């Protein structure tokens, strides 16, 4: 960690009113994942060896009685990382604040940056169709407004590039707090950036998808990011993503 990042960390925690800091027990995260590779309902095809974890970039610190409103206020006009320089609007997240299911994507694109809302472009429309279409087919009364949707980073990376590790680490603090404030029954990680942030692994979505993982004590289903599914040659991936979503919806809402 560079001095610059350390300084940003400390000022972030000072903003939260945190006065005492302790060294994080990083290995505990690894053990937790390694000991609990499979959670949620058993399924025949869900047995997979656990991902090789590295340290999750989400820090383990949050104020007690945290709320989404408080987190939004703490973000303020955030410039804690370089992504703050080029954004139009911070995309905090949207949906039911007491959602039983949270979707975590990578970061805002151009449409999201304009509107300040997550997943409103083409990929977002596909995600809405997937959530509502799958729920309808499976007889689960659910609309997009019933779930919560957010991203690992809250500002649009230039040229829609993948967020860099330090950006994920700095902004991941807000994601951590959002998840701890909502405490959903399950999380759906959309794509490799969300996987890295939540599970701390570099293993690919193709290998992890369809199988239950864990973030702290919350089951995580990994699946493809909707923007990947929009590519015309990914029809198989589309079918797999629908299957993943079916598993999540039944686990959360049955």
Site residues for ligand SF4 per CB under 6 A: 75, 78-81, 83-84, 90, 153-155, 167, 170-171
DSSP letters for 129-176: HHHHHHHHHTT----GGGSEEEESSSSPPGGGPPPPHHHHHHHHHHHH
> Smallest distance, Å, CB 87 to ligand SF4?
6
> Smallest distance, Å, CB 141 to ligand SF4?
34
> Smallest distance, Å, CB 90 to ligand SF4?
5
Chain center to CA of 65:
21
Sole residue written with tokens 């609007």:
89
> Smallest distance, Å, CB 62 to ligand SF4?
15
Residue placing its CB nearer to ligand SF4 in the complex, 47 or 69 = 69
Residue placing its CB nearer to ligand SF4 in the complex, 90 or 186 = 90
User: What distance in Å separates the CA atoms of residue 173 and residue 196, rounded to the nearest whole number?
Assistant: 14
Sheet of 212-215: strand order equals 94-95, 148-151, 101-105, 186-190, 218-223, 212-215
**Phi, psi angles (nearest 5°) of residue 100:** -90, -10
User: What distance in Å separates the CA atoms of residue 99 and residue 179, rounded to the nearest whole number?
Assistant: 10
Residue placing its CB nearer to ligand SF4 in the complex, 79 or 207 = 79
Residue placing its CB nearer to ligand SF4 in the complex, 114 or 132 = 114
Residue placing its CB nearer to ligand SF4 in the complex, 107 or 219 = 107
Residue placing its CB nearer to ligand SF4 in the complex, 12 or 212 = 12
> Smallest distance, Å, CB 75 to ligand SF4?
5
**Phi, psi angles (nearest 5°) of residue 201:** -125, 150
CB atoms under 10 Å from CB of 115, counted, come to 16
Q: 3-state DSSP call for residue 188? A: strand
């Amino acid at each position: 960690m560079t001095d610059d990042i350390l300084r940003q960390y400390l000022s972030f925690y000072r903003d939260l009113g945190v006065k005492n800091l302790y060294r994080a027990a990083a290995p505990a995260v690894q053990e937790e994942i390694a000991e609990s590779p499979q959670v949620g309902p058993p399924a025949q095809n869900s047995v997979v060896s656990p991902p090789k974890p590295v340290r999750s970039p989400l820090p383990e610190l949050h104020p007690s009685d945290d709320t989404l409103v408080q987190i939004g206020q703490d973000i303020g006009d955030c410039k804690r990382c370089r992504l703050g320089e080029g954004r139009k609007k911070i995309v905090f997240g949207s949906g039911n604040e007491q959602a039983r299911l949270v979707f975590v994507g990578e970061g805002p694109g151009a449409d999201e940056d304009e509107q300040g809302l997550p997943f409103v472009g083409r990929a977002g429309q596909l995600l809405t169709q997937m959530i509502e279409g799958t729920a309808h087919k499976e007889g689960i009364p659910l609309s997009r407004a019933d779930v919560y949707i957010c991203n690992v980073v809250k500002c649009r990376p230039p040229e829609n590039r993948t967020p860099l590790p330090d950006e994920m680490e700095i902004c991941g603090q807000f994601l951590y707090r959002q998840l701890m404030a909502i405490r959903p029954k399950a999380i759906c990680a959309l794509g490799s950036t969300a996987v890295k942030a939540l599970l701390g692994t570099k293993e690919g979505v193709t290998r992890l998808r369809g199988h239950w993982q864990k973030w702290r004590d919350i089951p995580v289903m990994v699946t493809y990011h909707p923007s990947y599914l929009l590519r015309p040659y990914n029809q198989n991936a589309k079918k797999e993503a629908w299957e993943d979503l079916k598993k999540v919806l039944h686990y959360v809402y049955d």
